[in-house]
Amino acid sequence: MPASRGDAMTMQSAIPPAGEDGADSREDAEPYFQALVETSPLGIFAIDAQGICVYANPSCCRIAGPGGEPLEGCDWHHFLCPEDRLQASAAWTATTQQGIPFRLEARWLCADGSLSWVRLNAAVLPGANCRPGHVLTVEDISDRKAADEVLRLAEEALFAEKERAQVTLNSIGDAVLTTDMPGKVTYMNLVAEKMTGWSRAEALGRPLAEVFHIVNGLTREVAADPARRAMAEDRTVELATDCVLVHRDGSESSIEDSAAPIHNRDGRVSGAVIVFHDVSESRAMAARMSHLAHHDFLTGLPNRALLTERLSQAIGLARRRHKQVALLFLDVDYFKHINDSLGHRIGDLLLQALAERLIACVRTTDTVCRQGGDEFVILLSEVEHIDDATRVAEKLLQVFSLPQLIDGHELHVTLSIGISVYPDDGDNAEAVMQNADTAMYHAKARGRNNCQLFRPEMNTRAVQRQFIESGLRRALKQGEFLLYYQPKIDLHSGTMTGAEALIRWQDPQLGLMQPAQFVPIAEESGLIVPIGRWVMREACRQLKAWQDAGLLAVPVSVNISAVEFRHKSFLEGVALILSETGLSPELLELELTESILMQDAEASALVLTALKRMGMQLAIDDFGTGYSSLSYLKRFPIDTLKIDQSFVHDVATDADDATIVSAMIGMGRSLKQRVVAEGVETLEQLAFLRAHQCHDGQGFQFSQPLCAEDFRRLLGSGTRVTTPHSQ
Ligand SMILES: Nc1nc2c(ncn2[C@@H]2O[C@H](COP(=O)(O)O[C@H]3[C@@H](O)[C@H](n4cnc5c(=O)[nH]c(N)nc54)O[C@@H]3COP(=O)(O)O)[C@@H](O)[C@H]2O)c(=O)[nH]1
């Protein structure tokens, strides 16, 4: 029967007696032991050989808590919470069987069902003649355990925090690298490892500059250490904009980064963190965008924006060094015709080929730029003398005199060039550009394929040109144009074989304007297309009206400029005019110059054939002034050759001209074409032409161009015009 707490069992009664020798002294000591056990803050209980508690001191009972069953008489395992009992048994067996000291931390099952952490220590009670048993001490370690748990949780949290920080640092796209105060690497994340080529293990402790090797992308100089600056200035610093990181293997990547100081607990700077990322792609994209913004997409040449920048720089430099800067404005003559007749693809290919030609003609230090359309500009920085610029222009004209083969088309392209020079022609980029442009227009007005140096008086002309252009627009609307007619005479019979319609402009202020004063401007501005249509319609209308009035009508020729001929709706326009006016097509002759036809001979042949099919007469005007291929001349369906008046002028006095004119007449006749001599002014010329069997003549010798009324009168009087021969 186990003793109960109320039985006032003592420790002495629970402990087997000692041997004989120590009996007295033990008895003497008992009250002390008793007191010690009863007052010990440690819980102490004794168990018998079966593990049944035979004594429990007050501290033990305190740990168990009030209100429970008495401990004495219970299996001590039941003091513990069920989950810990197995562990306790194992430890107890190890103690009792192998003598391993019994030490166990387990949870005490208190009377109220709560658990307290306790540490149990046991000792086997000695004595051979005594009852075997053990004494166990119970130390309440709940507080310590709670503190341990808090610590564990704190450590776990710290670990999790570190882990999270590590994962975060490795998963952010940026590279992160830290240094200590002396500038040695203390940490780098995976991205930093990848970008620098250094593993963290290798990099730790190395000087930053060795691992994080950065240079300026432009100068290639080693860039300033951002970490050092951040630590010195105790603030976040950004890196230079053009920073390049050199990888351990030598490869490079453009980076953007910032460095910030790291502070210790005392708030003092203890190192720095550098955060950087690869911006190679975005920088390359930005470079591409900038290239596009500054270059022409078709030719790859600098565009107007970049030219303006470079010109301003060149002028600034030239100003300091007392040098000159020359600007050449180039316009491709009749480019629009090529575009209109051969299509934009060929036009684009031609512009690209021209760009290459231009580049080949200048030095690498010069800038060739495309302004847009068919306009190019060449900037010659630091020229010593204006002759340097004219020499370049002459070279360009010479090079461009050679035909250009584009996609099987042999194209003859010429340039009109205007030159202006800093400081003489302008002291800023805008003025120099404006004046080169003006000089270029002047070159156009001078017949194209030439170069003009800017002169101040040209500006007056530019203003005049603008004035004329707007006047032409008004003239079209308000019907200020007139047609004059100049007869063509059969040199043998003296009869009128036809007439050439020549435009005049009756300007309200300026009076009667000759074509030379406005046709070139009309051509440059494109106004020649509507003006040319008016001329053709008016000539057809008048001729039909004269015919209807019973006058003997002769064929009338109209001049077709290159812009009209190349215009995409030229053929339709002619057909429409003929159908609108009802004029028989044989009475309409079109005069085209050699250069117009030879610009793209294949395309010209097609248009001429179409015109011929429509029933019109075709004439080559100003023959001898252009560059003709005889084989083409033979293929073109031409009815009439008009020998240019410059040959006719001296035909009676200049042996060369005489030879040329007689050859032209011979050629025309052999090609079965009617030959007309233009600008016949004298009897000598007339005699020569007759002697060489030129068919017809046109010129002041026979008649000035006549206004419509006078020409009508001439038609009414019969078609004979008095010539010396016919008189
Ligand atoms: N696209 C168009 N061009 C036209 C049109 N009308 C005229 N023109 C071209 O303008 C140029 C000058 O023409 P114009 O001032 O009318 O001069 C013509 C004659 O007046 C002149 N001529 C005639 N006979 C003589 C002469 O004996 N001596 C002399 N010095 N000049 C003379 O020649 C001009 C005609 O030349 P051409 O056309 O080559 O036959 C001129 O190039 C016209 O082509 C138009 O409507 N559209």
Instruction: With respect to residue 145, please indicate whether it lies within any of the assigned structural domains.
Output: no
Regarding the beta carbon of 245 and ligand 1, being less than 6 Å apart is answered no
Query: Which pLDDT score is estimated for 629?
Result: 66
Regarding the beta carbon of 553 and ligand 1, being less than 6 Å apart is answered no
Instruction: With respect to residue 461, please indicate whether it lies within any of the assigned structural domains.
Output: no
The residue among 92, 117, 140 that closes a domain is 140
Regarding the beta carbon of 596 and ligand 1, being less than 6 Å apart is answered no
Query: Which pLDDT score is estimated for 722?
Result: 53
Atom of ligand 1 nearest to the CA of 523: 1
Ligand 1 atom 21 nearest Cα: 679
Query: Which pLDDT score is estimated for 139?
Result: 92
- The total of other beta-carbon atoms located within 10 Å of residue 475's CB is 22
> Is the same domain home to 276 and 299?
no
- As given in the structure block, the two tokens for residue 263 are 């502070």
The b/e string for 529-553 (b: 16+ C-beta within 10 A; e otherwise) is: bebbbbbbbbbbbbbbebbeeebeb
The residue among 118, 140, 162 that closes a domain is 140
Regarding the beta carbon of 524 and ligand 1, being less than 6 Å apart is answered no
> Is the same domain home to 495 and 622?
yes
Lowest model confidence (mean pLDDT) among 94-108, 316-330, 665-679: 94-108
Regarding the beta carbon of 486 and ligand 1, being less than 6 Å apart is answered yes
Ligand 1 atom 4 nearest Cα: 559
pLDDT tens by residue, 153-204:
888 888 888 777 777 777 778 899 999 999 999 999 999 999 999 999 999 9
> Is the same domain home to 650 and 525?
yes
Q: What is the mean pLDDT of residues 115-131?
A: 70
- Report which of residues 598 and 476 the model is more confident about: 476
pLDDT tens by residue, 499-517:
999 999 998 888 899 999 9
Ligand 1 atom 3 nearest Cα: 559
* 423 cis-preceded (ω within 30 degrees of 0): yes
- Cα–Cα distance, 215 to 218 (Å, whole number): 9
The residue among 422, 455, 488 that closes a domain is 455
Q: What is the mean pLDDT of residues 228-233?
A: 94
| 214-219 LR contacts (CB < 8 Å, sep 24+) | 214/239, 214/243, 214/244, 214/245, 214/246, 214/255, 215/243, 215/244, 215/246, 216/240, 216/242, 216/243, 216/244, 217/242, 217/243, 217/244, 217/254, 218/242
Query: Which pLDDT score is estimated for 284?
Result: 87
Instruction: With respect to residue 179, please indicate whether it lies within any of the assigned structural domains.
Output: yes
Instruction: With respect to residue 167, please indicate whether it lies within any of the assigned structural domains.
Output: no
Domain count, the chain: 4
The pLDDT of residue 723 is above 80: no
- The total of other beta-carbon atoms located within 10 Å of residue 153's CB is 10
- Cα–Cα distance, 630 to 622 (Å, whole number): 16
- Cα–Cα distance, 605 to 349 (Å, whole number): 22
Regarding the beta carbon of 503 and ligand 1, being less than 6 Å apart is answered yes
Taking the centre of ligand 1 as the mean of its atom positions, its distance from the CA of residue 672, in whole angstroms, is 25
Q: What is the CATH number of the domain that holds 305?
A: 3.30.70.270
**pLDDT band at residue 433, thresholds of 50, 70 and 90?**
very high
Query: Which pLDDT score is estimated for 582?
Result: 96
H or E stretch at 696: strand 696-698
Which of 500, 534, 558, 559 has the most ligand 1 atoms within 8 A of CB, as the residue to mutate? 559
Task: Count the residues in the chain.
Answer: 727
> Is the same domain home to 19 and 64?
yes
Atom of ligand 1 nearest to the CA of 642: 40
Instruction: With respect to residue 333, please indicate whether it lies within any of the assigned structural domains.
Output: yes
Extract the runs of DSSP E, i.e. beta strands, from 392-513.
404-406, 409-411, 415-422, 451-453, 481-490, 496-507, 511-513
Which of 334, 337, 505, 519 has the most ligand 1 atoms within 8 A of CB, as the residue to mutate? 519
Taking the centre of ligand 1 as the mean of its atom positions, its distance from the CA of residue 697, in whole angstroms, is 14
The pLDDT of residue 22 is above 50: no
The b/e string for 444-461 (b: 16+ C-beta within 10 A; e otherwise) is: bbeebbbbbbbeeebeee
Q: Cβ(348)–Cβ(465) under 8 Å?
A: no
255 burial type by CB count under 10 A (0-12 exposed, 13-18 middle, 19+ buried): buried
pLDDT tens by residue, 62-86:
988 888 788 999 999 999 999 999 9
Concatenated DSSP letters of 317-376? HHHHHT-EEEEEEEEETTHHHHHHHH-HHHHHHHHHHHHHHHHHHS-TTSEEEEEETTEE
Would strands 375-383 and 367-372 be described as parallel, antiparallel, or unpaired? antiparallel
Q: Cβ contacts of residue 504 below 8 Å, gap of 6+?
A: 481, 482, 483, 484, 512, 513, 514, 515
The pLDDT of residue 658 is above 80: yes
Query: Which pLDDT score is estimated for 2?
Result: 38
Ligand 1 atom 29 nearest Cα: 679
> Is the same domain home to 523 and 433?
no
Regarding the beta carbon of 594 and ligand 1, being less than 6 Å apart is answered no
Query: Which pLDDT score is estimated for 27?
Result: 66
Phi-psi region of 679 (alpha: psi -120 to 50; beta: other; left: phi over 0): left
The b/e string for 680-705 (b: 16+ C-beta within 10 A; e otherwise) is: bebeebbebbbebebbbbbbebbbeb
Measuring CA to CA, which residue among 456, 546, 459 is closest to residue 499? 546
Atom of ligand 1 nearest to the CA of 564: 1
> Is the same domain home to 627 and 572?
yes
Instruction: With respect to residue 362, please indicate whether it lies within any of the assigned structural domains.
Output: yes
Query: Which pLDDT score is estimated for 132?
Result: 57
**SS3 assignment, position 451:** strand
Q: What is the mean pLDDT of residues 519-540?
A: 94
- Cα–Cα distance, 162 to 168 (Å, whole number): 10
The pLDDT of residue 418 is above 80: yes
- Output Rg (C-alpha) for the chain, integer angstroms: 56
pLDDT tens by residue, 36-56:
889 998 999 998 888 899 999
The pLDDT of residue 685 is above 90: yes
Percent of the chain residues topping a pLDDT of 70? 93
> Is the same domain home to 349 and 317?
yes
> Is the same domain home to 319 and 425?
yes
> Is the same domain home to 431 and 471?
no
Regarding the beta carbon of 490 and ligand 1, being less than 6 Å apart is answered no
Would strands 696-698 and 674-678 be described as parallel, antiparallel, or unpaired? parallel
Q: Cβ(555)–Cβ(721) under 8 Å?
A: no
Instruction: With respect to residue 426, please indicate whether it lies within any of the assigned structural domains.
Output: yes
Measuring CA to CA, which residue among 514, 492, 489 is closest to residue 500? 489
The pLDDT of residue 219 is above 70: yes
Taking the centre of ligand 1 as the mean of its atom positions, its distance from the CA of residue 684, in whole angstroms, is 22
- Cα–Cα distance, 57 to 205 (Å, whole number): 61
Q: Cβ(499)–Cβ(711) under 8 Å?
A: yes
pLDDT tens by residue, 452-471:
999 988 887 777 888 899 99
- Cα–Cα distance, 283 to 290 (Å, whole number): 10
Query: Which pLDDT score is estimated for 130?
Result: 43
The phi and psi torsions of 443 (rounded to 5 degrees) equal: -60, -40
Lowest model confidence (mean pLDDT) among 16-30, 322-336, 527-541: 16-30
pLDDT tens by residue, 304-319:
999 999 999 999 999 9
pLDDT tens by residue, 592-650:
998 888 878 888 999 999 999 999 999 999 888 766 667 777 889 999 999 999 999 99
Query: Which pLDDT score is estimated for 26?
Result: 60
Measuring CA to CA, which residue among 376, 379, 373 is closest to residue 392? 379
**pLDDT band at residue 680, thresholds of 50, 70 and 90?**
very high
Domain membership of residue 630 as a residue range: 467-716
Concatenated DSSP letters of 580-626? HHT--GGGEEEEEEHHHHHHTHHHHHHHHHHHHHTT-EEEEEEETSS
The pLDDT of residue 486 is above 50: yes
Q: What is the mean pLDDT of residues 345-353?
A: 94
Regarding the beta carbon of 500 and ligand 1, being less than 6 Å apart is answered yes
**pLDDT band at residue 19, thresholds of 50, 70 and 90?**
very low
Regarding the beta carbon of 562 and ligand 1, being less than 6 Å apart is answered no
- Cα–Cα distance, 112 to 62 (Å, whole number): 12
Taking the centre of ligand 1 as the mean of its atom positions, its distance from the CA of residue 520, in whole angstroms, is 13
Which residue matches tokens 């209100």? 67
Q: Cβ(108)–Cβ(79) under 8 Å?
A: yes
The pLDDT of residue 368 is above 70: yes
> Is the same domain home to 390 and 366?
yes
Instruction: With respect to residue 161, please indicate whether it lies within any of the assigned structural domains.
Output: no
Measuring CA to CA, which residue among 455, 430, 429 is closest to residue 318? 429
Q: What is the mean pLDDT of residues 333-342?
A: 81
> Is the same domain home to 478 and 435?
no
**pLDDT band at residue 7, thresholds of 50, 70 and 90?**
very low
Atom of ligand 1 nearest to the CA of 700: 27
Regarding the beta carbon of 621 and ligand 1, being less than 6 Å apart is answered yes
Q: What is the CATH number of the domain that holds 42?
A: 3.30.450.20
The pLDDT of residue 443 is above 90: no
Lowest model confidence (mean pLDDT) among 21-25, 280-284, 529-533: 21-25
ipTM: 0.94
Lowest model confidence (mean pLDDT) among 281-290, 470-479, 563-572, 604-613: 281-290
The phi and psi torsions of 364 (rounded to 5 degrees) equal: -65, -25
Query: Which pLDDT score is estimated for 724?
Result: 46
Measuring CA to CA, which residue among 315, 296, 297 is closest to residue 306? 296
Q: What is the distance in angstroms between the CA of the first residue and the CA of the last residue of the chain?
A: 177
> Is the same domain home to 489 and 638?
yes
Atom of ligand 1 nearest to the CA of 500: 40
Q: What is the pTM of this model?
A: 0.49
Q: What is the mean pLDDT of residues 469-474?
A: 93
Taking the centre of ligand 1 as the mean of its atom positions, its distance from the CA of residue 514, in whole angstroms, is 9
Regarding the beta carbon of 527 and ligand 1, being less than 6 Å apart is answered no
**pLDDT band at residue 10, thresholds of 50, 70 and 90?**
low
| 461-470 LR contacts (CB < 8 Å, sep 24+) | 462/438, 465/441, 465/521, 468/517, 468/518, 468/521, 469/521, 469/525, 469/527
pLDDT tens by residue, 236-283:
998 777 889 999 999 999 998 889 999 988 889 999 999 999 999 888
